[in-house]
Protein backbone atom coordinates (compact mmCIF):
# COMPACT_ATOMS: atom_id res chain seq x y z
CA UNK A 1 0.00 0.00 0.00
CA UNK A 2 1.40 3.34 -1.08
CA UNK A 3 0.40 5.68 1.75
CA UNK A 4 2.12 8.79 0.40
CA UNK A 5 -0.10 8.75 -2.68
CA UNK A 6 -3.20 8.47 -0.52
CA UNK A 7 -2.12 11.38 1.66
CA UNK A 8 -1.17 13.45 -1.35
CA UNK A 9 -4.61 13.09 -2.94
CA UNK A 10 -6.59 13.32 0.30
CA UNK A 11 -7.64 16.98 -0.24
CA UNK A 12 -9.02 16.14 -3.69
CA UNK A 13 -10.94 13.19 -2.31
CA UNK A 14 -12.32 15.37 0.48
CA UNK A 15 -13.49 17.80 -2.19
CA UNK A 16 -15.29 14.93 -3.90
CA UNK A 17 -16.78 13.86 -0.59
CA UNK A 18 -18.26 17.34 -0.09
CA UNK A 19 -20.02 17.08 -3.44
CA UNK A 20 -21.29 13.62 -2.48
CA UNK A 21 -22.71 15.01 0.77
CA UNK A 22 -24.29 17.92 -1.09
CA UNK A 23 -26.01 15.55 -3.52
CA UNK A 24 -27.22 13.27 -0.75
CA UNK A 25 -28.46 16.18 1.37
CA UNK A 26 -30.45 17.65 -1.52
CA UNK A 27 -31.87 14.24 -2.46
CA UNK A 28 -32.97 13.09 0.98
CA UNK A 29 -34.41 16.44 2.07
CA UNK A 30 -36.22 17.26 -1.18
CA UNK A 31 -37.16 13.58 -1.44
CA UNK A 32 -38.73 13.68 2.01
CA UNK A 33 -40.76 16.77 1.15
CA UNK A 34 -41.95 15.14 -2.06
CA UNK A 35 -42.62 11.84 -0.31
CA UNK A 36 -44.99 13.21 2.34
CA UNK A 37 -47.92 13.88 -0.03
CA UNK A 38 -47.02 10.76 -2.01
CA UNK A 39 -47.01 8.58 1.09
CA UNK A 40 -50.27 10.02 2.38
CA UNK A 41 -51.94 9.48 -0.99
CA UNK A 42 -50.45 6.00 -1.25
CA UNK A 43 -52.02 4.96 2.05
CA UNK A 44 -55.42 6.32 1.06
CA UNK A 45 -58.42 4.03 1.16
CA UNK A 46 -59.63 5.20 -2.25
CA UNK A 47 -58.22 3.38 -5.24
CA UNK A 48 -58.35 6.51 -7.42
CA UNK A 49 -56.11 8.40 -4.99
CA UNK A 50 -53.82 5.44 -4.45
CA UNK A 51 -53.28 4.43 -8.08
CA UNK A 52 -51.03 7.25 -9.29
CA UNK A 53 -48.55 7.23 -6.37
CA UNK A 54 -48.51 3.44 -6.65
CA UNK A 55 -47.50 3.59 -10.32
CA UNK A 56 -44.86 6.22 -9.55
CA UNK A 57 -43.40 4.17 -6.69
CA UNK A 58 -43.50 0.98 -8.74
CA UNK A 59 -41.61 2.55 -11.63
CA UNK A 60 -38.93 4.15 -9.50
CA UNK A 61 -38.43 1.12 -7.29
CA UNK A 62 -38.53 -1.34 -10.15
CA UNK A 63 -35.84 0.20 -12.34
CA UNK A 64 -32.18 0.80 -11.53
CA UNK A 65 -31.11 4.31 -10.55
CA UNK A 66 -28.52 4.16 -13.34
CA UNK A 67 -31.28 3.83 -15.95
CA UNK A 68 -33.19 6.74 -14.43
CA UNK A 69 -30.06 8.85 -14.35
CA UNK A 70 -29.32 8.14 -18.02
CA UNK A 71 -32.96 8.77 -18.94
CA UNK A 72 -32.79 12.25 -17.44
CA UNK A 73 -29.23 13.20 -18.36
CA UNK A 74 -28.89 11.72 -21.84
CA UNK A 75 -32.54 10.96 -22.61
CA UNK A 76 -34.20 14.34 -22.23
CA UNK A 77 -31.88 15.93 -24.80
CA UNK A 78 -33.61 13.82 -27.45
CA UNK A 79 -36.60 16.17 -27.40
CA UNK A 80 -36.34 19.55 -29.06
CA UNK A 81 -38.99 20.94 -26.74
CA UNK A 82 -36.74 20.27 -23.76
CA UNK A 83 -33.69 21.75 -25.42
CA UNK A 84 -35.53 24.94 -26.26
CA UNK A 85 -37.19 25.29 -22.87
CA UNK A 86 -36.13 27.67 -20.12
CA UNK A 87 -35.11 24.72 -17.94
CA UNK A 88 -32.44 23.53 -20.39
CA UNK A 89 -29.49 25.28 -18.66
CA UNK A 90 -30.39 23.25 -15.55
CA UNK A 91 -31.16 19.97 -17.29
CA UNK A 92 -27.87 20.19 -19.17
CA UNK A 93 -25.94 20.43 -15.93
CA UNK A 94 -24.99 16.99 -14.53
CA UNK A 95 -25.29 18.28 -10.97
CA UNK A 96 -28.95 19.25 -11.36
CA UNK A 97 -29.71 16.10 -13.31
CA UNK A 98 -28.21 13.92 -10.61
CA UNK A 99 -29.96 15.85 -7.82
CA UNK A 100 -33.34 15.71 -9.55
CA UNK A 101 -33.05 12.01 -10.40
CA UNK A 102 -31.86 11.02 -6.96
CA UNK A 103 -34.65 13.07 -5.39
CA UNK A 104 -37.32 11.41 -7.53
CA UNK A 105 -35.75 8.00 -6.85
CA UNK A 106 -35.49 8.34 -3.10
CA UNK A 107 -38.93 9.97 -2.85
CA UNK A 108 -40.47 6.71 -4.08
CA UNK A 109 -38.69 4.72 -1.39
CA UNK A 110 -39.44 7.23 1.38
CA UNK A 111 -43.10 7.35 0.34
CA UNK A 112 -43.26 3.59 0.75
CA UNK A 113 -41.60 3.84 4.18
CA UNK A 114 -44.11 6.53 5.12
CA UNK A 115 -47.01 4.39 3.96
CA UNK A 116 -45.81 1.54 6.15
CA UNK A 117 -45.43 3.92 9.07
CA UNK A 118 -48.85 5.51 8.59
CA UNK A 119 -50.47 2.10 8.48
CA UNK A 120 -48.54 1.08 11.60
CA UNK A 121 -50.04 3.93 13.67
CA UNK A 122 -52.29 2.17 16.19
CA UNK A 123 -55.89 2.62 15.00
CA UNK A 124 -57.01 3.32 18.56
CA UNK A 125 -55.02 6.56 18.61
CA UNK A 126 -56.62 7.78 15.39
CA UNK A 127 -60.05 6.82 16.72
CA UNK A 128 -59.31 8.65 19.96
CA UNK A 129 -58.42 11.79 18.01
CA UNK A 130 -61.60 11.50 15.97
CA UNK A 131 -63.62 10.91 19.14
CA UNK A 132 -62.18 14.13 20.56
CA UNK A 133 -63.73 15.94 17.62
CA UNK A 134 -60.62 16.45 15.48
CA UNK A 135 -61.29 16.66 11.78
CA UNK A 136 -59.67 14.09 9.50
CA UNK A 137 -56.98 16.54 8.42
CA UNK A 138 -56.34 17.72 11.95
CA UNK A 139 -55.94 14.13 13.12
CA UNK A 140 -53.59 13.52 10.22
CA UNK A 141 -51.34 16.47 11.04
CA UNK A 142 -51.40 16.33 14.84
CA UNK A 143 -51.65 12.61 15.52
CA UNK A 144 -50.88 10.39 12.54
CA UNK A 145 -47.92 12.19 10.94
CA UNK A 146 -45.92 12.89 14.13
CA UNK A 147 -46.46 9.28 15.15
CA UNK A 148 -45.65 7.90 11.69
CA UNK A 149 -42.55 10.06 11.51
CA UNK A 150 -41.16 8.41 14.62
CA UNK A 151 -42.13 4.92 13.46
CA UNK A 152 -40.53 5.50 10.06
CA UNK A 153 -37.38 7.27 11.28
CA UNK A 154 -35.17 4.15 11.56
CA UNK A 155 -36.17 3.09 8.05
CA UNK A 156 -35.56 6.64 6.81
CA UNK A 157 -32.04 6.58 8.23
CA UNK A 158 -31.48 3.35 6.30
CA UNK A 159 -32.66 5.07 3.15
CA UNK A 160 -30.25 7.97 3.73
CA UNK A 161 -27.34 5.51 3.96
CA UNK A 162 -28.54 3.79 0.81
CA UNK A 163 -28.66 7.16 -0.96
CA UNK A 164 -25.12 7.90 0.21
CA UNK A 165 -24.04 4.75 -1.57
CA UNK A 166 -26.28 5.34 -4.56
CA UNK A 167 -24.71 8.78 -5.04
CA UNK A 168 -21.64 6.95 -6.39
CA UNK A 169 -23.66 6.51 -9.58
CA UNK A 170 -23.49 10.25 -10.21
CA UNK A 171 -19.93 9.61 -11.36
CA UNK A 172 -21.37 7.96 -14.50
CA UNK A 173 -22.81 11.29 -15.63
CA UNK A 174 -19.38 12.95 -15.42
CA UNK A 175 -19.90 14.38 -11.95
CA UNK A 176 -16.74 14.51 -9.83
CA UNK A 177 -18.13 13.32 -6.53
CA UNK A 178 -16.17 10.91 -4.37
CA UNK A 179 -16.21 7.96 -6.79
CA UNK A 180 -15.83 10.16 -9.83
CA UNK A 181 -12.91 11.95 -8.21
CA UNK A 182 -11.31 8.62 -7.31
CA UNK A 183 -11.61 7.47 -10.92
CA UNK A 184 -10.07 10.70 -12.19
CA UNK A 185 -7.16 10.39 -9.79
CA UNK A 186 -6.65 6.74 -10.81
CA UNK A 187 -6.55 7.79 -14.45
CA UNK A 188 -3.56 9.93 -13.49
CA UNK A 189 -1.77 7.74 -10.96
CA UNK A 190 -2.65 4.19 -12.12
CA UNK A 191 -3.03 3.13 -8.49
CA UNK A 192 -6.59 1.78 -8.31
CA UNK A 193 -6.22 -0.19 -5.07
CA UNK A 194 -4.88 2.70 -2.99
CA UNK A 195 -7.29 5.35 -4.25
CA UNK A 196 -10.41 3.16 -4.20
CA UNK A 197 -9.41 2.05 -0.70
CA UNK A 198 -9.17 5.67 0.42
CA UNK A 199 -12.51 6.49 -1.21
CA UNK A 200 -14.06 3.47 0.50
CA UNK A 201 -12.79 4.69 3.85
CA UNK A 202 -14.42 8.08 3.17
CA UNK A 203 -17.76 6.35 2.52
CA UNK A 204 -17.39 4.25 5.67
CA UNK A 205 -16.68 7.32 7.79
CA UNK A 206 -19.59 9.26 6.29
CA UNK A 207 -21.95 6.32 6.81
CA UNK A 208 -20.73 5.97 10.40
CA UNK A 209 -21.29 9.66 11.15
CA UNK A 210 -24.77 9.52 9.61
CA UNK A 211 -25.69 6.43 11.64
CA UNK A 212 -24.50 8.15 14.84
CA UNK A 213 -26.40 11.31 13.91
CA UNK A 214 -29.64 9.43 13.41
CA UNK A 215 -29.15 7.56 16.69
CA UNK A 216 -28.89 10.96 18.34
CA UNK A 217 -32.00 12.23 16.53
CA UNK A 218 -33.88 9.13 17.64
CA UNK A 219 -32.95 9.91 21.21
CA UNK A 220 -34.00 13.56 20.87
CA UNK A 221 -37.36 12.56 19.39
CA UNK A 222 -37.66 9.82 22.02
CA UNK A 223 -38.46 7.20 19.43
CA UNK A 224 -37.98 4.30 21.85
CA UNK A 225 -40.24 5.80 24.48
CA UNK A 226 -43.12 6.28 22.02
CA UNK A 227 -42.70 2.77 20.62
CA UNK A 228 -44.39 1.07 23.59
CA UNK A 229 -47.95 0.21 22.74
CA UNK B 1 -47.03 4.72 -29.67
CA UNK B 2 -44.81 2.76 -31.95
CA UNK B 3 -41.24 2.38 -30.81
CA UNK B 4 -38.62 1.89 -33.49
CA UNK B 5 -35.64 -0.02 -32.13
CA UNK B 6 -33.65 0.20 -35.40
CA UNK B 7 -32.92 -3.52 -35.26
CA UNK B 8 -31.40 -3.37 -31.79
CA UNK B 9 -34.18 -5.51 -30.33
CA UNK B 10 -32.25 -8.82 -30.41
CA UNK B 11 -29.22 -7.11 -28.85
CA UNK B 12 -31.37 -5.85 -25.97
CA UNK B 13 -32.84 -9.33 -25.56
CA UNK B 14 -29.33 -10.78 -25.40
CA UNK B 15 -28.51 -8.11 -22.82
CA UNK B 16 -31.52 -9.13 -20.77
CA UNK B 17 -30.33 -12.73 -20.85
CA UNK B 18 -26.88 -11.64 -19.70
CA UNK B 19 -28.43 -9.62 -16.87
CA UNK B 20 -30.39 -12.66 -15.71
CA UNK B 21 -27.30 -14.88 -15.87
CA UNK B 22 -25.28 -12.33 -13.93
CA UNK B 23 -27.99 -11.90 -11.30
CA UNK B 24 -28.44 -15.65 -10.79
CA UNK B 25 -24.71 -16.38 -10.60
CA UNK B 26 -24.17 -13.54 -8.15
CA UNK B 27 -27.17 -14.83 -6.17
CA UNK B 28 -25.50 -18.25 -5.77
CA UNK B 29 -22.24 -16.70 -4.57
CA UNK B 30 -24.10 -14.26 -2.33
CA UNK B 31 -26.20 -16.99 -0.70
CA UNK B 32 -23.06 -18.98 0.14
CA UNK B 33 -21.31 -15.88 1.52
CA UNK B 34 -24.42 -14.88 3.44
CA UNK B 35 -24.78 -18.31 5.04
CA UNK B 36 -21.10 -18.37 5.98
CA UNK B 37 -21.35 -14.83 7.35
CA UNK B 38 -24.43 -15.65 9.41
CA UNK B 39 -22.81 -18.84 10.74
CA UNK B 40 -19.72 -16.84 11.68
CA UNK B 41 -21.79 -14.16 13.40
CA UNK B 42 -23.83 -16.65 15.42
CA UNK B 43 -20.90 -18.93 16.28
CA UNK B 44 -19.67 -19.11 19.86
CA UNK B 45 -16.14 -18.11 18.84
CA UNK B 46 -15.22 -14.46 19.31
CA UNK B 47 -12.85 -14.44 16.33
CA UNK B 48 -15.45 -15.78 13.89
CA UNK B 49 -18.00 -13.29 15.21
CA UNK B 50 -15.50 -10.54 14.54
CA UNK B 51 -14.85 -11.78 10.99
CA UNK B 52 -18.58 -11.96 10.20
CA UNK B 53 -19.27 -8.58 11.75
CA UNK B 54 -16.40 -6.86 9.95
CA UNK B 55 -17.42 -8.39 6.63
CA UNK B 56 -21.02 -7.24 6.81
CA UNK B 57 -20.17 -3.80 8.20
CA UNK B 58 -17.43 -2.90 5.73
CA UNK B 59 -19.12 -4.29 2.62
CA UNK B 60 -22.42 -2.61 3.47
CA UNK B 61 -20.73 0.72 4.13
CA UNK B 62 -19.13 1.06 0.69
CA UNK B 63 -21.11 1.69 -2.52
CA UNK B 64 -21.74 -1.23 -4.85
CA UNK B 65 -20.29 0.76 -7.75
CA UNK B 66 -17.04 1.17 -5.85
CA UNK B 67 -16.88 -2.60 -5.26
CA UNK B 68 -17.42 -3.27 -8.95
CA UNK B 69 -14.64 -0.83 -9.91
CA UNK B 70 -12.33 -1.98 -7.12
CA UNK B 71 -12.65 -5.64 -8.01
CA UNK B 72 -12.32 -5.08 -11.75
CA UNK B 73 -9.47 -2.55 -11.77
CA UNK B 74 -7.93 -3.30 -8.40
CA UNK B 75 -7.20 -6.98 -8.87
CA UNK B 76 -5.22 -6.71 -12.11
CA UNK B 77 -1.83 -7.06 -10.40
CA UNK B 78 -3.06 -9.75 -8.03
CA UNK B 79 -4.54 -11.82 -10.86
CA UNK B 80 -1.37 -11.46 -12.89
CA UNK B 81 0.68 -12.68 -9.93
CA UNK B 82 -1.64 -15.64 -9.46
CA UNK B 83 -1.49 -16.32 -13.20
CA UNK B 84 2.29 -16.42 -13.15
CA UNK B 85 2.21 -18.70 -10.14
CA UNK B 86 -0.06 -21.28 -11.77
CA UNK B 87 1.58 -20.85 -15.15
CA UNK B 88 -1.01 -18.84 -17.07
CA UNK B 89 0.62 -15.51 -17.97
CA UNK B 90 -1.77 -12.61 -18.50
CA UNK B 91 -4.51 -14.08 -16.34
CA UNK B 92 -7.19 -11.49 -15.63
CA UNK B 93 -10.68 -11.19 -14.31
CA UNK B 94 -13.24 -10.64 -17.07
CA UNK B 95 -16.12 -8.23 -16.54
CA UNK B 96 -18.59 -11.02 -15.84
CA UNK B 97 -16.45 -12.60 -13.12
CA UNK B 98 -15.71 -9.22 -11.57
CA UNK B 99 -19.41 -8.36 -11.61
CA UNK B 100 -20.37 -11.67 -10.03
CA UNK B 101 -17.77 -11.27 -7.28
CA UNK B 102 -18.68 -7.65 -6.53
CA UNK B 103 -22.46 -8.17 -6.55
CA UNK B 104 -22.17 -11.49 -4.71
CA UNK B 105 -20.05 -9.81 -2.06
CA UNK B 106 -22.63 -7.05 -1.53
CA UNK B 107 -25.57 -9.47 -1.59
CA UNK B 108 -23.76 -11.72 0.88
CA UNK B 109 -23.20 -8.88 3.33
CA UNK B 110 -26.90 -8.04 3.47
CA UNK B 111 -27.89 -11.72 3.38
CA UNK B 112 -25.66 -12.27 6.43
CA UNK B 113 -28.03 -10.12 8.47
CA UNK B 114 -31.14 -11.77 7.00
CA UNK B 115 -29.83 -15.28 7.70
CA UNK B 116 -28.66 -14.30 11.17
CA UNK B 117 -32.14 -13.05 12.00
CA UNK B 118 -33.61 -16.28 10.68
CA UNK B 119 -31.20 -18.47 12.67
CA UNK B 120 -31.98 -16.54 15.84
CA UNK B 121 -35.72 -16.86 15.18
CA UNK B 122 -35.61 -20.64 15.44
CA UNK B 123 -36.52 -21.78 18.96
CA UNK B 124 -33.57 -22.92 21.04
CA UNK B 125 -35.44 -26.09 21.94
CA UNK B 126 -35.06 -27.44 18.41
CA UNK B 127 -31.29 -27.33 18.63
CA UNK B 128 -31.38 -28.87 22.09
CA UNK B 129 -33.70 -31.61 20.87
CA UNK B 130 -31.19 -32.37 18.13
CA UNK B 131 -28.37 -32.53 20.66
CA UNK B 132 -30.44 -34.80 22.88
CA UNK B 133 -30.96 -37.14 19.93
CA UNK B 134 -27.18 -37.29 19.53
CA UNK B 135 -26.96 -35.34 16.28
CA UNK B 136 -23.69 -33.62 15.44
CA UNK B 137 -23.53 -29.79 15.17
CA UNK B 138 -23.34 -29.76 11.39
CA UNK B 139 -26.12 -32.32 11.11
CA UNK B 140 -28.33 -30.19 13.35
CA UNK B 141 -27.68 -27.21 11.14
CA UNK B 142 -28.39 -29.01 7.89
CA UNK B 143 -31.30 -31.17 9.02
CA UNK B 144 -33.00 -28.98 11.61
CA UNK B 145 -32.06 -25.32 11.28
CA UNK B 146 -31.69 -24.84 7.52
CA UNK B 147 -35.08 -26.24 6.43
CA UNK B 148 -36.84 -23.94 8.92
CA UNK B 149 -34.59 -20.99 8.22
CA UNK B 150 -35.60 -20.63 4.60
CA UNK B 151 -39.20 -19.85 5.41
CA UNK B 152 -38.20 -16.98 7.69
CA UNK B 153 -35.38 -15.68 5.49
CA UNK B 154 -37.26 -15.83 2.19
CA UNK B 155 -39.03 -12.41 2.25
CA UNK B 156 -35.79 -10.67 3.17
CA UNK B 157 -33.86 -12.56 0.50
CA UNK B 158 -36.53 -11.67 -2.05
CA UNK B 159 -36.03 -7.96 -1.36
CA UNK B 160 -32.29 -8.38 -1.63
CA UNK B 161 -32.65 -10.20 -4.94
CA UNK B 162 -34.67 -7.31 -6.42
CA UNK B 163 -31.91 -4.95 -5.30
CA UNK B 164 -29.30 -7.29 -6.79
CA UNK B 165 -31.14 -7.38 -10.11
CA UNK B 166 -31.12 -3.60 -10.33
CA UNK B 167 -27.49 -3.44 -9.27
CA UNK B 168 -26.52 -5.56 -12.26
CA UNK B 169 -26.87 -2.33 -14.26
CA UNK B 170 -23.70 -1.13 -12.52
CA UNK B 171 -21.62 -3.81 -14.22
CA UNK B 172 -22.19 -2.01 -17.53
CA UNK B 173 -19.66 0.52 -16.22
CA UNK B 174 -16.88 -2.07 -16.67
CA UNK B 175 -18.16 -3.02 -20.10
CA UNK B 176 -20.17 -6.20 -19.56
CA UNK B 177 -22.70 -6.42 -22.38
CA UNK B 178 -25.93 -6.52 -20.41
CA UNK B 179 -29.07 -4.43 -20.92
CA UNK B 180 -27.53 -1.06 -20.10
CA UNK B 181 -24.39 -1.60 -22.17
CA UNK B 182 -26.42 -2.69 -25.19
CA UNK B 183 -28.68 0.34 -24.76
CA UNK B 184 -25.63 2.61 -24.62
CA UNK B 185 -24.31 1.08 -27.83
CA UNK B 186 -27.70 1.54 -29.48
CA UNK B 187 -27.85 5.14 -28.30
CA UNK B 188 -24.41 5.73 -29.78
CA UNK B 189 -25.76 4.73 -33.19
CA UNK B 190 -29.25 6.16 -33.16
CA UNK B 191 -28.87 9.22 -30.87
CA UNK B 192 -32.25 8.35 -29.40
CA UNK B 193 -31.26 8.15 -25.78
CA UNK B 194 -34.70 8.52 -24.24
CA UNK B 195 -36.26 5.75 -26.32
CA UNK B 196 -33.60 3.18 -25.57
CA UNK B 197 -33.16 3.93 -21.88
CA UNK B 198 -36.93 3.84 -21.47
CA UNK B 199 -37.01 0.45 -23.17
CA UNK B 200 -34.20 -0.65 -20.84
CA UNK B 201 -36.21 0.63 -17.87
CA UNK B 202 -39.21 -1.41 -18.95
CA UNK B 203 -37.09 -4.54 -19.40
CA UNK B 204 -35.92 -4.11 -15.80
CA UNK B 205 -39.52 -3.56 -14.70
CA UNK B 206 -40.51 -6.78 -16.48
CA UNK B 207 -37.67 -8.67 -14.80
CA UNK B 208 -38.73 -7.23 -11.43
CA UNK B 209 -42.31 -8.38 -11.98
CA UNK B 210 -41.03 -11.85 -12.92
CA UNK B 211 -38.89 -11.97 -9.80
CA UNK B 212 -41.82 -10.80 -7.66
CA UNK B 213 -44.02 -13.58 -9.05
CA UNK B 214 -41.28 -16.12 -8.45
CA UNK B 215 -40.84 -14.92 -4.88
CA UNK B 216 -44.57 -15.09 -4.27
CA UNK B 217 -44.67 -18.73 -5.44
CA UNK B 218 -41.58 -19.64 -3.40
CA UNK B 219 -42.98 -18.00 -0.29
CA UNK B 220 -46.28 -19.78 -0.76
CA UNK B 221 -44.45 -23.09 -1.03
CA UNK B 222 -42.17 -22.37 1.92
CA UNK B 223 -45.00 -21.43 4.24
CA UNK B 224 -47.25 -24.37 3.43
CA UNK B 225 -48.52 -25.93 6.61
CA UNK B 226 -48.25 -22.62 8.42
CA UNK B 227 -51.25 -20.48 9.20
CA UNK B 228 -51.13 -17.15 7.43
CA UNK B 229 -50.61 -14.58 10.15
CA UNK B 230 -53.35 -11.97 10.20
CA UNK B 231 -51.88 -8.83 8.73
Residues A218, A89: Cα–Cα separation, whole Å: 40
Q: How many domains does chain A have?
A: 1
First to last CA, chain A: 53
Residues B201-217 have pLDDT tens digits of 999 999 999 999 999 99
In chain B, which residues have their Cβ closer than 8 Å to the Cβ of A164?
63
How confident is the model over A81-100, as pLDDT tens digits?
888 888 888 888 899 999 99
ipTM score: 0.86
Q: Chain B interface, mutation test: which of A168, A195, A212, most B Cβ atoms within 10 Å?
A: A168
Rounded to two decimals, the pTM is 0.88
d(CA A166, CA A203): 11
Domain that holds residue A142: 3-227
CA A151 to each of CA A219, A227, B73: distance values in angstroms, whole numbers, following the listed order: 13, 8, 42
Interchain CB distance below 8 Å, B194 and A196: no
Calculate what percentage of chain A has a pLDDT beyond 70. 98
- Residue A226 — pLDDT band, cuts 50, 70, 90? low
Q: Residue A53 sits in a domain of what CATH number?
A: 1.10.3720.10
User: How far from the centroid of its chain's Cα atoms is residue B77's Cα?
Assistant: 26
Q: Is B204 in Cβ contact with A200 (below 8 Å)?
A: no
Contact check, Cβ <8 Å, A196/B191 = no
Task: Provide, as residue numbers in chain B, all residues whose Cβ is less than 8 Å from the Cβ of A210.
Answer: none
Confidence at A23, pLDDT banded by 50, 70, 90: very high
Between A225 and B149, the more confident residue is: B149
Q: In chain B, which residues have their Cβ closer than 8 Å to the Cβ of A207? A: 61
Q: Which CATH superfamily is domain B18-176 in?
A: MetI-like (1.10.3720.10)
Domain range annotation of chain B:
18-176
* pLDDT in the model for residue B230: 43
Within 8 A of B205 by CB-CB distance, chain A residues are 58-59, 62-63
Amino acid sequence: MNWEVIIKWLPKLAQGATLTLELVAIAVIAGLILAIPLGIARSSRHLSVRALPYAYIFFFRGTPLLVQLFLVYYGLAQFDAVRKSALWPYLRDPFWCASVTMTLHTAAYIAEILRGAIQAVPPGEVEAARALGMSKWKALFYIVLPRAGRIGLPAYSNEVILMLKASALASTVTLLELTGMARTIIARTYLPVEIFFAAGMFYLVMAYVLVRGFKLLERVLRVDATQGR
Amino acid sequence: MNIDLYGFGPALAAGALMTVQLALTALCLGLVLGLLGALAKTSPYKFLQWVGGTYSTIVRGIPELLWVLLIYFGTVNLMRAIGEYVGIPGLELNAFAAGVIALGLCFGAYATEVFRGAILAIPKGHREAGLALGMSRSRIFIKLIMPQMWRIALPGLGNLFMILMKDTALVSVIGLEEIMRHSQIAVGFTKEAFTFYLVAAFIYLGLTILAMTGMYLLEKRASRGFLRSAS
